[in-house]
A = this chain, B = another copy of it.
Amino acid sequence: MNSLDSLKSSIISQFGTPCAVIDLDIIKKNILRAQKICDVAGVANRPHIKTHKSPLLAKMQIDAGARGITCQKLGEAEVMAEAGIDDILIATNILGAAKSGRLANLQKRLPLKVCADNQISLREYSIAAKAANRPLDVLIECDTGQKRAGVEEPKEAARLIQLILKDDWLKFTGLLYYPPLNGWEDTQVFHNSLTKMLDDLKVEAKIISTGGTPNFANIGKLTGATEHRAGTCIFNDMMMVEDGFAQITDCAFRVFTSVVSRANDDRGILDAGSKTLTSDTGGLQGYGYITEYPEAKIIKFSEEHGFLNLTDCTKKPTVGEIVSVVPNHVCVAVNMVDQLVVVQNKRVMKTIPVAARGMLV
């Protein structure tokens, strides 16, 4: 039995399939690579933990040189704080957790950095900071083309910053950008315009944050940027392969899944469906890459079934065979599982909990 077959045998007997597996050697390499990209560009690394949702992996990123971490939900920040991480940026408007009192509770424990693009969020933040008896650091989220959250005009950002300056419980800390891949020049124009307004107000943005793994290709291009937050690069996925950032061998996360049905020569069924790999195609064709059968296509998912089209395969998997799938979008796949099986040198080492999984609030 070769070492991969031996690994599959361990996985099936210890965990069954489908099973989410990460390769520690690849992860270590990926962490170092991201840190180096930031170092070379002269911006601090503040990885987004939404991809791995694991304090253990966040600490590996910090140990490799990251300044702190980025979370998307207060619940994720709670888990990371509980594990002892103390420099946390929450990169979104928090309303649900602000109103429920959870933001105040965490702010009481450690000084958070939060983001806003409107004055309702600012008002909630002020209430939470007062309840915590500790002023909140606030970044203004700016939209320069993604059309997601974020103010669309520099003057609206300046207006919100003035509200922060007038509020005893808020401190203006910086600007949060997520420039579109081809929108860094527009972002610079926005940022220059806003910087002038800030100069007039005699305030300084200590943190100027950009984001995204594909945007590593642009890192350093925004004059003034101080930090970058990238998530996917710790594991990579087929979106990053398509983007050109990663090769298949850089993908650290795979779902091991059994072929459970082969009703005829041209098709088959995996025991992993949308409940494991999700319906998120990441804009790619199909639903993931089968390492052992690159010509096989996952053409559809139901909740527990992956539908294989084997027409193009010269060799075809048999019922009972285990294959490993690299997902199109790894962040959402990690969120489907309670634990990750850690392998190194094709041996099962341990499992780690996806401690911040499913944190909706």
Contact = CB atoms under 8 A, between A and B. Distances in A.
A358 B332 contact: no
Interface residues of A, number: 68
A188 interface: no
Contact of A337 (B264, B280, B303, B358): B358
A97 interface: yes
B96 A16 contact: yes
A263 B96 contact: no
Contact of A274 (B275, B302, B304, B332): B332
Given A149-B263, A263-B151, A258 B96 contact: yes
Given A274-B332, A280-B274, A16 B303 contact: no
A81 to B, nearest CB: 17
A332 B303 contact: yes
Contact of A303 (B14, B72, B267): B72
A121 interface: yes
B18 A307 contact: no
A196 to B, nearest CB: 22
Contacts of A152: 263-264
Contacts of A13: 99-101
A360 B99 contact: no
Nearest to A12: B99
Interface string A330-345: 0110011110000000
A360 B72 CA distance: 25
Looking at A97, A121, A148, which has the most chain B CB atoms within 10 Å of its CB?
A148
A192 interface: no
Interface string A278-294: 11110000000000000
Interface of A: 12-19, 50, 72-74, 92-97, 99-102, 117-118, 120-121, 124, 143, 147-152, 258, 260-264, 267, 269, 271-272, 274-276, 278-281, 302-305, 307, 318-320, 331-332, 335-338, 358, 360-361
23 contacts: A12-B96, A13-B99, A13-B100, A16-B99, A16-B100, A16-B102, A17-B361, A92-B260, A92-B305, A93-B260, A93-B269, A96-B258, A96-B271, A121-B260, A147-B267, A148-B269, A151-B263, A152-B263, A152-B264, A278-B278, A278-B279, A303-B331, A337-B360
